[in-house]
Amino acid sequence: MRHLFRFAAVARRENLVFLLRRYRSPKPATAPSPPTPPKPPKKPQKFSFHGITWEDPYSWMSNLNDKVAMRHMDVCMEQEEKYTEAVMSDSEKLQNKLQFEMASRIPFDLSTPPLRWGPWLYYRRVEEGKQYPVLCRRLASLNDEFISHKYPPAGFDFASGKRIEQKLIDYNQEAERFGGFAYEELSEVSPNHQFIAYTMYDKDNDYFKLSVRNLNSGSLCSKPQVDRVSNLAWAKDGQALLYVVTDQKKRPYRIYCSLIGSTDDDALLLEESDENVHINIRNTKDFRFVTVNTFTTTSSKVFLINAADPLSGLKLVWECPSLAHCIIEHHQGYLYLFTDAPRAGQSIDYHYLLCSPVNDPSNPRKWETLRYAMFTITSYVFSFHLPLNIRLTLHVIPLPHKLQEVFLNDEDLIVEDVDFSDKYLALILREGCNFRLCSVKLPLSTGKGAVKLRKLDIRYLSLPKHVCQISPGPNYDFYSSVMRFIISSPVMPDAVVDYELTTGRWNIIQQQNMLHERTQILYGANSASVTLDNANSKCSGPVNSKLEDSQSWNELSEFYACEQFDVPSADGVKVPLTIVFSRSNKPEDKTPGILHGHGAYGELLDKRWRSELKSLLDRGWVVAYADVRGGGGHGKKWHHEGRRTKKHNSINDYISCAKFLIETDIVEENKLAGWGYSAGGLLVASAINQHPDLFRAAVLKVPFLDPTNTLLYPVLPLIAADYEEFGYPGDLNDFLAIRDYSPYDNIQKDVLYPAVLVNSSFNTRFGVWEAAKWVARVRDHTIYDPKRPILLNLTTDLVEENRYLQSKESALEAAFLIKMMDS
């Protein structure tokens, strides 16, 4: 037995040696080669202007009439899509996780908060399994305890056994009318609550189509049904509808009046043949008048139409020899004009309020003209050719000066916006960088001259901390003492708030509760409210009551910090910078960050809380917002200092904020990303051209990247505001500035660029070819690094309407940023 064991041991040893001899250590696994970026064909074409010649190898991409070029474009877009998928394939699990997080925060069973107007509550709700909402209404008297659209479900009251909801428009049915796509731009219920006029986007023809629906029968009216409509206003207490039609270049240029139920052709009230003139109409809140604004880049005028007799003519009540914002309201025999027009020929940096009495509009000859102080208006009558032998006249009647300024100038307290009701004037104010909301009783003492706003009997209304935007709600009910506002903050989900102006009470009607990942829809007796003490709320600024804390407002400041800085730009101007970060971040953390910017059209930078950014904040990211020149919120001068030949100020401001974040260790070096939407894409891309080393990554959404060719040879219609913002190529100084800041024309050669994800769409103001051209040229000029890819992602047209696709696109952006920072 012993040698049997010995034999077995020897055999095992020999077998082991044999196996070891046969064993070869495996070769190290080779990492898969990174995907190769697409290379679209080059077809160089030379252009010359103002004696400057340049070559564009990708100009063919915008030649929409060239079928061969468009076939090449289709192939290129397919290649770009595959390349983006290949680069991001290893982050699929992360994308799915992010999308799950973001989708879980979407309130799928969301009804819009009910809006009371007269006897009705109007609201929209989404039915289970449907993509688009339904517009509904209920009598307010039957819904005193109305909390959400689910109780009673579908408007059925189990207590009474009656259906108490009326469906007005089912947008799922509208989608069937418009090729599976339902996008509404305008909707206006008539003041008698019998009709609704609304415009739906016709995707095939690229315009908005007007329809009018009878709210009693639910059927569409036979007329008006009109294409290319941009504005609506009701007249004759809902018996007539005024609407504005655009030309082939999308310029609003004609006003028509349609008598509901009549078989007569619609009457043409005004036609502007001058291609530089644009038209806009709106009702005054009491529906007594329709205001008509006509404007060019060098002039502004306002006319009034008597809503009781819309065919009686247009009355010119105000004009200004420059482009100016102007809104006119009527209140108890007075016209109130809110404008930022120049004073005594000098441009000003703020809005102000003027008033003037107006006599009985039933007699046009007694109308008083609100006159701009530096002009004398002479009488004239101008006739327009109209169908049906109707002739309307335009009256301008010179009258003694009745113009009066309402408030004395206060540089420390700027009026940003106003809203009128029958008994109150609501004012959105800005004191430095802080917003205020207050109300003043009407009527004002108009006979005593202008007064200091602080001297009036002001009631300041409750607001949370860190307010970045206050937007008036629809507020259709002129005779209600309740006004609705949307309050926004970087650390608080948007709150839809009803303010009772008589008492100062405030009710949060709707706000998403991010802590419980659900949405609160509150209405009536169950809504959170705060009553302000009258003695403390007048002329003393906002009041901090015991209930006005983060819990009352559903603020997230316990979990996320919001800080503000004034960052010196290249020329010494202080640029506001807002940062948001998780309070769980530790100083030793290597913190990545994302810097948002826009800086165009005088528009406010969107600093509102966005639920998709929570996924980055919870992963230790810093979210920053640079309020660069060219944007809004800091007066007209701030806007003008960042447009046309001064666009470089916007870019320098953004770069200064980026440097500040890194130099102060708020964001770790080489871990900063840029983010820009539309014109903000131009800002970020230009900053990258100047300082590519500042950024590790960037996301550009439907960006404007080729201003030289777009402004010189527009493929899609541009409006005057676009040229006022970015410059007139015909002006040599403007043209040189455009060439200097253009992202497409200033890409550095043989330099390492950050990773960039460009999201574009075929249905965008700035064509997809701009993104495709820029992506191709960046790849041509810069150093190739597979860890810093330049990606082009095409979104579908349905993203804006589909919340699932929105979360998918947001998840891709977040995954891209995280992947680039970790690589």
The answer to whether position 798 is within a domain reads yes
The single-letter code of the amino acid at 338 is: F
Picking from 559, 505, 254, 538, the residue whose alpha carbon sits closest to that of residue 387 is 254
**pLDDT(402) > 60:** no
337, 356, 381 — which closes off a domain?
337
Q: Tokens standing for 211?
A: 């329809």
Whole-number Å distance between alpha carbons of 70 and 424: 58
pLDDT at position 399, please? 33
Out of 247-251, 416-420, 727-731, 801-805, which region has the weakest mean confidence (pLDDT)? 801-805
pLDDT at position 159, please? 53
pLDDT at position 736, please? 96
The answer to whether position 663 is within a domain reads yes
* Span 570-620, pLDDT tens digits: 999 999 999 999 998 875 677 999 999 999 999 999 999 998 999 999 999
Contact 625, 577 (CB under 8 A): yes
pLDDT at position 535, please? 31
Q: Which residue has the higher pLDDT, 324 or 728?
A: 728
User: SS3 of 225, please?
Assistant: coil
**pLDDT mean across residues, the chain:** 82
Other beta carbons within 10 Å of 381: 9
Picking from 295, 351, 302, 346, the residue whose alpha carbon sits closest to that of residue 323 is 295
- Asked whether the bond before 464 is cis by omega within 30 degrees of 0, the reply is no
* Span 264-286, pLDDT tens digits: 999 999 999 998 899 999 999 99
> What are φ and ψ of residue 631, in 5° steps?
-90, -165
User: SS3 of 448, please?
Assistant: helix
Picking from 339, 317, 315, the residue whose alpha carbon sits closest to that of residue 327 is 339
297, 314, 337 — which closes off a domain?
337
Q: Report how far apart, in Å, the C-alpha atoms of 335 and of each of 104, 330, 444, 449 are.
A: 49, 5, 12, 15
310, 337, 364 — which closes off a domain?
337
pLDDT at position 7, please? 36
The answer to whether position 669 is within a domain reads yes
Per-residue pLDDT band at 680 (split at 50, 70, 90):
very high
Out of 180-194, 443-457, 501-515, which region has the weakest mean confidence (pLDDT)? 443-457
| Residue 727's CATH number | 3.40.50.1820
Concatenate the DSSP letters of all residues of 236-290 into one string: GGGTEEEEEEE-TT--EEEEEEEETT--SPPEEEEE--STT-EEEEEE-TTSSEE
The answer to whether position 567 is within a domain reads yes
* Span 59-112, pLDDT tens digits: 999 888 889 999 999 999 999 999 999 999 999 999 999 999 988 887 665 678
Contact 164, 207 (CB under 8 A): no
Per-residue pLDDT band at 140 (split at 50, 70, 90):
confident
pLDDT at position 272, please? 94
The answer to whether position 439 is within a domain reads no
Whole-number Å distance between alpha carbons of 164 and 313: 42
Contact 609, 464 (CB under 8 A): no
Mean pLDDT of 211-229: 93
The answer to whether position 433 is within a domain reads no
> With pLDDT > 90 as the criterion, what percentage of the chain qualifies?
57
Give, as one character, the DSSP assignment of residue 517: T
pLDDT at position 367, please? 34
What is the span of the domain harbouring residue 814?
Answer: 560-822
pLDDT at position 379, please? 27
The answer to whether position 405 is within a domain reads no
pLDDT at position 531, please? 33
pLDDT at position 286, please? 94
* Span 37-51, pLDDT tens digits: 999 999 999 999 999
Mean pLDDT of 463-489: 93
**pLDDT(330) > 90:** yes
* Nearby residues of 67 by Cβ (< 8 Å), 6 or more positions away: none
* Span 360-400, pLDDT tens digits: 443 333 333 333 332 222 222 222 223 333 334 344 333 33
Q: Which residue has the higher pLDDT, 205 or 161?
A: 205
Q: Tokens standing for 563?
A: 């800080």
Total of domains in the chain: 2
Q: What is the pTM of this model?
A: 0.84
Whole-number Å distance between alpha carbons of 28 and 742: 47
Greatest Cα pair distance in the chain:
133
**pLDDT(301) > 60:** yes
The answer to whether position 306 is within a domain reads yes
pLDDT at position 303, please? 94
| Residue 275's CATH number | 2.130.10.120
Out of 379-393, 396-410, 788-802, which region has the weakest mean confidence (pLDDT)? 379-393
> With pLDDT > 70 as the criterion, what percentage of the chain qualifies?
81
**pLDDT(204) > 70:** yes
